[in-house]
Amino acid sequence: MQVESGPNSFIILPAKSLLFFDLTAVALVLIMLTIIPVIFSIKLIFIVLVLWFGQVTIASFKQAQSDQLQFQPETGQWLLNGAKVYLQTQQFLTRNLLVMNLYTETGRRINQVIPIDSMPRTQHIRLRKLIIAWSKSSNRDG
C-alpha cells in the first residue's frame, strides 16, 4: 500500500463533542420534563434519573482512557492499544468523523468512533487518508 511517509501512530483522546452532545440531550430532556403537565412524583423520578445519567456521563468522560492506534506499513498490520486488530471491509468516513469497524483475532468486533476533536486535525486527516489507501489496496486483510 502506498501512503505518504510520516508517523503511523495515533492517540485517540476522549471526545469533548460527544460529551457536549450527551449533556445537551440531558438539558433538553430536563427542560421538557419541567414543562410537561405530569404528576409531580413521576416527574421528579424522571428528573432524578436524567440527572443521574448526566452525572454518570461526566464521570465516564473524566475516567476515559486514551487509545493508541498504529499502522505498520511494512506488514500492513493495525494495532489498537498494542493488540493486533483487523479492519473490516466497510468503514464510515466523513470530514469530521471516522467510525472504524475493527475485529480482533478472536473475532470480537470493536467499533472505534473518532470525532475530529479527539486528536489533532492533521492526525485525523492522515488517519482518514490511511484508511482510504488501505481500502484501495488489493492485499488488505479482512
Domain segments of the chain as ranges: 9-13+66-136, 16-63
Q: Where are the alpha helices (DSSP H) in the chain?
A: 16-35, 40-63, 121-136
Task: Measure the CA–CA gap between 99 and 93, rounded to whole angstroms.
Answer: 6
Q: What is the pLDDT of residues 78-126, one digit of tens each?
A: 999 989 999 888 888 989 999 999 999 898 999 988 999 999 999 999 9
50-77 in b/e form (b: 16+ CB < 10 A) is beeebeebeeeeeeeeebebebeeeeee
- For 39-90, how does the pLDDT look when each residue is reduced to its tens digit (9 = 90+)? 999 999 999 999 999 999 999 999 999 999 998 888 888 999 989 999 888 8
For 69, the 3-state DSSP assignment is strand
Short-list 141, 127, 112, 93, CA closest to 9: 127
Residue 8 CA to residue 51 CA, distance in Å, equals: 41
Q: What is the CA radius of gyration of the chain?
A: 20
Rounded to two decimals, the pTM is 0.73
